[in-house]
Amino acid sequence: MKQARIPAFAGMTIGFGMTMAFSAAAKEVALDVGHYAAEPGVIAASGVPEFEFNLALASEVKAELETHGVKVRLIGERGDYAVLHHRTRDARGADLFVSIHHDSVQEHLLPQAGRFAGFSLFISRHNPKLGKSLACASAIGAKLRGAGFTPSRYHADPVLGESRPFADEANGVHYYDNLAVARTAAMASVLLEAGVVVNREEEQRMREPAVRRRIAVAVAGGVRECLAKELQ
Ligand SMILES: [Zn+2]
């Protein structure tokens, strides 16, 4: 464990004898709430916009990370980030950028949306910290699988998805090189599609507080695991 010196700020007193843990605790995560009020993303089977699912899950991940001493900078929680690269710009200084989304399928497949379920993770080969992006995405995917969730896989399919090649097939991680929040980030960056909310059954699961909690604990666990390693 590294010892860090606590900087002295004017007007701030830190009591002697106070112990603080510095390991993952010194790390900061930018947690991005996907989409914004004017364009709230996918419309779920019940009509609820994706932004609401993203906000609920991101808030839960934030709480879970903070419980473990990780700093969190929430991005876009007020629904006012219309320009994608402003999200990564305002994340500067963080150790990891995690964008929270919920998934759909191609429009012509919407009548069959019940066939599609599960999570997906995306990273970009244009991100300057590719190794760390992959390690974090794999760690999140592995924790989600450990919590009983399954990767959706269909994004890699040339017909059903968009032929996004796997970076880590077992853990549901794909390359999506032009993904703005991964390409424009100065730090490692991962985008999570937590579940397919155009699927009515999956949407119901995603709305359950206990399920959201399990996802949040898994995501935070994967983030903490990869931040504890020093990767480029
Ligand atoms: Zn989205």
Q: Decide: residue 47, CB within 10 A, 0-12 exposed, 13-18 middle, 19+ buried.
A: exposed
How high is the pLDDT of residue 28?
Answer: 97
Q: Which two tokens stand for residue 203?
A: 């949407």
Contacts of 150 (CB under 8 A, 6+ apart): 117, 118, 119
With beta carbons less than 8 A apart as the criterion, state whether 175 and 120 touch: no
How high is the pLDDT of residue 231?
Answer: 58
Ligand 1 centroid – CA 231 distance (Å): 27
User: 31: which strand partners?
Assistant: 74, 98
Q: What is the pLDDT of residues 141-177, one digit of tens each?
A: 999 999 999 999 999 999 899 899 999 999 999 999 9
How high is the pLDDT of residue 39?
Answer: 95
CA distance 128 to 134: 12
- Helix 209-228 × helix 130-146 angle, to 10°: 140
Ligand 1 centroid – CA 58 distance (Å): 13
Is the pTM value of this prediction over 0.75? Answer: yes
How high is the pLDDT of residue 23?
Answer: 52
Segments of the chain scoring below 70 in pLDDT: 1-25, 231-232
Ligand 1 centroid – CA 77 distance (Å): 14
Query: What 3-state class would DSSP assign to 134?
Result: helix
How high is the pLDDT of residue 88?
Answer: 96
Ligand 1 centroid – CA 42 distance (Å): 6
How high is the pLDDT of residue 209?
Answer: 97
How high is the pLDDT of residue 229?
Answer: 85
The size of the chain, in residues, is 232
Q: Which two tokens stand for residue 22?
A: 């510095």
Ligand 1 centroid – CA 229 distance (Å): 29
Ligand 1 centroid – CA 29 distance (Å): 19
Ligand 1 centroid – CA 105 distance (Å): 11
